[in-house]
Structure 1
Amino acid sequence: MTAVRKQDMWMISSVVDEHNHDVSPTKSRLIRGNRKLNMQVKRTLDLNDQAGVRINKSFRSLVCDAGGFENLQFVERDARNYIGKQRRALGKEGDGQALLNHFSAMRELNKDFFFEIDMDPDNRISNVFWADARSRAAFMEFGDVVSFDTTYLTNKYDMPFAPFVGVNHHGHSILLGCGLLSAEDSSTFVWLFRCWLRCMGNKSPEGIVTDQCKAMQNAIQMVFPNTRHRWCLWHIMKKLPEKLIGYTNYKEIKHTMKQLVYESSTAEDFESGWNNFIELYDLELNEWLHTLFEERHRWVPCYLKCDFWAGMSTTQRSEGMNAFFDGFINSTTTLQQFVVQYDNALRSKAEKEYEADFSSVNTTIPCGSQSFIERQFQEEYTHAKFGEVQNEFRCKMNCNVKNVVFDGIRTKYFVKEALIWKDESADKMREVIFDPSTKDIECSCRLFEFRGILCRHSLMVLAQEDVRCVSQKYILGRWSKQIRRWHTLIRASYNTKKDEPNVKRYDFLCKKFYDIAELACESQSGTDFLVDQLESLSKNASIRDAGATSLGAQKDMSSTPNTAVEHNNILSPVHVKRKGRPRGLRMQSTVEKIGKKKNM
């Protein structure tokens, strides 16, 4: 159609009544002017994005809900554009400023939320630490032993994620605060540890497990001088191939060293065995082994088993927590997105603990024997810890009392444990000391001191002494299901998203509609009645008029100047060069490899 203007009138000059393409009503939905996202779709995309659901999966769910692509008024690109716009709007002031705004909002919702941001001279974020109220409360009960590790990349700035991880009463990992660091040197770790110490009321942990990082060691000695520090045993033993592969008899060296580390019962046994090991394989000049022996009290089990470590000898807790976060964050995550997804992960972790609490209180694991001691632990311990006790009861069948020595008041038992996967010469002999007057018991394996669980050797002696109930000192409140934990009463996270009033009203109405629809769908007559009522309401002009009035009021309010005090502009951090786990190299194509060779 062509129109021309003559003086004050428009006149149609030509009309072509034939289409220049095939008429297809089913394709009209793809025309840009016909594509749109209604409020339900936008709300679904927003919620899924907050929950960490990828956009392609969110779009697929909308397709299934609509009954096919042909019933949608938009395409996947429209959904991606919408989410991208929302994310850009969230961080339009910069990633650093968005992070500060988020933390400030969290503190407004709960004054016990703690955070600190370290800035460089250019006003860029260097380091970040935060802990929510639940983590701070959990530290009061489970902060005696923590694992700390920084070998995880989580954001587009390559800032290492540094979580403080403890063990709760179910044996599950629990977050006790975390940080994002710009470097892995002593000064950075000192800053982080001091922040964590202030956050936890200046109460230091009794023990901390890390890797062999010298910077961490220096910072721990400075900030936590009274804290026991042990190295991750797994990190040390996995270096055997790297450090010893050059020796001709490498396999024998590796086997002997593992046997020496894991089988030594006392420090004297280890030291004498180590000297023989070094001399036998001519390893006097190996600097790595020399350093390990100098620091043997930090990693060899026989030096550490006399102290309580909640069963932790490696940083596996931290690495397991890192793997848990893999479902929520990735290497392209911005700082503000990271802390939001951190909340989602924390909420999920809290829900698992809540389910375990419910299961331990409302269900019962049957005893495997008629022992009164087993029933005692059944009533007190959570399911996970009672399972560990039951394992010791089962293994008790492999133990036999070989000799008994009476030493005045106390009795010393020599208990032999048969190991079915080894020959008889490898069977272990344990010394168990029992005091008949106090019912106190002590085993040379030190399992109770290390893990807080009575060992099979002690249970064997208690049965021999006809003890029907152990002292309360052997039932740790740390593993009890009878104690009400304060941190479980605190919400794991807070939704700080500033929803617009119309979105909040929309959510409220949807919930009301869901309840009504659930009642009406029971019969066809009820469904028809509800549809008629809704159609009648949708045609009612009073609803539209009320909506227009509300919209006008919102516009008036939005025009009101913002009198809130604004923070100084905080810049995003720079990309970090780090010495931790190397980033994976991208696989090169054949063309790239050939081009690289030509350039060389």
Structure 2
Amino acid sequence: MDSSSPMIQSEEFYLANSKFESYDELLKSVRDFYYAKGYGVSIRDSRKEKYVTLQCDRGGSYRDRLCSGDKRKKITVSRLIKCPFQIVGKKGNDGAWVLKAKNMTHNHEPSTDIVGHPSFRRLSPQDTESVKNMTLSGIPPRQILSSLRQGNQSLPAISRTIYNLKAKIRKESLNNRSMVSALFEEFEKEGFIFDILHNPSGHITHLFIAHPLSIKLAKIFSNIFVMDCTYKTNKYNMPLLDIIGVSCFNTSFYSGFAFLEREDEDSYIWALNTFKKILDNREPTVIMSDRELALMNAIKVVFPSTINLLCIWHIEKEDLQKQKRKEG
């Protein structure tokens, strides 16, 4: 596309006759102008209150951060094709922002569907704040996107937009801390009781967590507890031991959780000893569990005076499986 092209001439006219009161106004105006022409625009680099370099969002090339060499190129369709288009916005002495052409050519045709450009799917500040609030409330990305579209039917965002924004929010909230360090700081801030075990390499193998209210209820209603492990509850595939208390009103409450490296007797003994400290070394009257032998043995070690009853639901489930095996 040469400099005599009508499109280039219209762009140069736009640049020469445009002034903007703020950085945000400049970005919005440029993006709207080029979206109408079928091109996405992204920020290449900027310096606050000084300048901003804008480029085609197909400029640049992928960097092989994983050092996977040609293997990544074979399985990845690159959106970035080193498009040379660039313009620069600078703040003048009068406070106004002006645009200057750096390279007005593209090495590709305009898009017929601009929604395919990530820069077009950028959310407004109001929508970004809504995503942040809903993320803090624990709402999953799919429901967040549905909620945003109820207020704006033409919202160009997709699921990946929400996931990327959630990752950015999480990174900002960590403030250069590791996720584990941030987690422990939150525990301390909210008054949680927690304990951990490390392996020789320094990796966490066991984690016990108890909410302040759970601790209070466990001390008041310390006679009956139900214990069971659940699976596939986290990306580390660590078994999660649920400890559930029963009140005198025949209602249940969470007393504590323990992520374990494996379901062996030593792991259960560690978790139960930690829980025993919460109960001020008192022993429950009854602990109900399934027929997990490692857990049953650990209960005998840590709470020798406690009666260990098997859960009827688990017994009936096992009987049903045995009956099916006989019929098969």
TM bucket normalised to smaller: 0.5 to 0.7
The answer to whether the 8 Å contact 1:90/1:98 transfers is no
Which residue identity lines up with residue 198 of structure 1 in the other structure?
Answer: K
**Aligned: 1:47 with 2:129:** no
Which residue identity lines up with residue 144 of structure 2 in the other structure?
Answer: S
- Please state how far the C-alpha of 1:45 moved relative to its aligned partner: 1.2
C-alpha distance in structure 1 between counterparts of 2:117 and 2:324, whole Å: 66
Pick closer, same or farther for the CA change 1:31–1:188 going to 2, 3 Å: closer
State the partner residue of 2:183: 102
Which residue identity lines up with residue 108 of structure 1 in the other structure?
Answer: K
C-alpha distance in structure 2 between counterparts of 1:73 and 1:239, whole Å: 51
- Please state how far the C-alpha of 1:31 moved relative to its aligned partner: 5.4
C-alpha distance in structure 2 between counterparts of 1:161 and 1:245, whole Å: 29
**Aligned: 1:80 with 2:163:** yes
Pick closer, same or farther for the CA change 1:201–1:147 going to 2, 3 Å: same
Could you state the TM-score of these two structures normalised by the residue count of structure 2? 0.60
State the partner residue of 2:313: 234
Which residue identity lines up with residue 83 of structure 1 in the other structure?
Answer: K
- Please state how far the C-alpha of 1:140 moved relative to its aligned partner: 2.1
The answer to whether the 8 Å contact 1:186/1:219 transfers is yes
Pick closer, same or farther for the CA change 1:143–1:60 going to 2, 3 Å: same
- The size of the alignment, in residue pairs, is 230
The answer to whether the 8 Å contact 2:207/2:260 transfers is yes
Identity of aligned residues (%): 26
C-alpha distance in structure 2 between counterparts of 1:208 and 1:41, whole Å: 48
Question: Any residues of structure 2 matched to 1:79-228 within 5 Å, and which?
Answer: 79-87=162-170, 97-110=178-191, 113-228=192-307
Could you state the TM-score of these two structures normalised by the residue count of structure 1? 0.35
The answer to whether the 8 Å contact 1:186/1:216 transfers is yes
State the partner residue of 1:491: none
Pick closer, same or farther for the CA change 1:207–1:187 going to 2, 3 Å: same
Structure 2: any 5+ residue segments left out of the alignment?
Answer: 11-33, 39-111
Q: Say which is worse superposed, 236-245 or 183-192, in terms of deviation.
A: 236-245
Pick closer, same or farther for the CA change 1:34–1:172 going to 2, 3 Å: same
- Please state how far the C-alpha of 1:24 moved relative to its aligned partner: 7.6
Pick closer, same or farther for the CA change 1:192–1:93 going to 2, 3 Å: farther
C-alpha distance in structure 2 between counterparts of 1:22 and 1:184, whole Å: 56
- Please state how far the C-alpha of 1:161 moved relative to its aligned partner: 1.3
Tell me which of 38, 41, 44 is aligned to 2:124.
38
- Please state how far the C-alpha of 1:102 moved relative to its aligned partner: 1.5
C-alpha distance in structure 2 between counterparts of 1:155 and 1:241, whole Å: 29
Which residue identity lines up with residue 251 of structure 2 in the other structure?
Answer: H
State the partner residue of 1:446: none
Which residue identity lines up with residue 179 of structure 2 in the other structure?
Answer: A
Pick closer, same or farther for the CA change 1:171–1:222 going to 2, 3 Å: same
Q: Which has the larger radius of gyration?
A: 1
The answer to whether the 8 Å contact 2:224/2:285 transfers is yes
Pick closer, same or farther for the CA change 1:122–1:23 going to 2, 3 Å: closer
- Please state how far the C-alpha of 1:27 moved relative to its aligned partner: 6.8
> Matched residue of 1:212: which SS?
coil
- Please identify which structure carries the higher helix content: 1
RMSD of aligned Cα (Å) = 3.3
Question: Any residues of structure 2 matched to 1:86-485 within 5 Å, and which?
Answer: 86-87=169-170, 97-110=178-191, 113-243=192-322
Question: Any residues of structure 2 matched to 1:542-553 within 5 Å, and which?
Answer: none
**Aligned: 1:14 with 2:4:** yes
Pick closer, same or farther for the CA change 1:119–1:170 going to 2, 3 Å: same
Higher relative contact order by CA 8 Å / sep ≥ 6: 1 or 2? Answer: 1
The answer to whether the 8 Å contact 2:141/2:163 transfers is yes
**Aligned: 1:65 with 2:148:** no
The answer to whether the 8 Å contact 2:230/2:242 transfers is no
C-alpha distance in structure 1 between counterparts of 2:272 and 2:211, whole Å: 16
- Please state how far the C-alpha of 1:246 moved relative to its aligned partner: 7.6
Pick closer, same or farther for the CA change 1:169–1:41 going to 2, 3 Å: farther
Pick closer, same or farther for the CA change 1:166–1:23 going to 2, 3 Å: closer
The answer to whether the 8 Å contact 1:30/1:74 transfers is no
Runs of 4+, deviation exceeding 4 Å: 21-35, 73-76, 88-94, 241-247
- Please state how far the C-alpha of 1:17 moved relative to its aligned partner: 4.4
- Please identify which structure carries the higher strand content: 2
Pick closer, same or farther for the CA change 1:44–1:233 going to 2, 3 Å: same
> Matched residue of 1:239: which SS?
helix
> Matched residue of 1:183: which SS?
coil
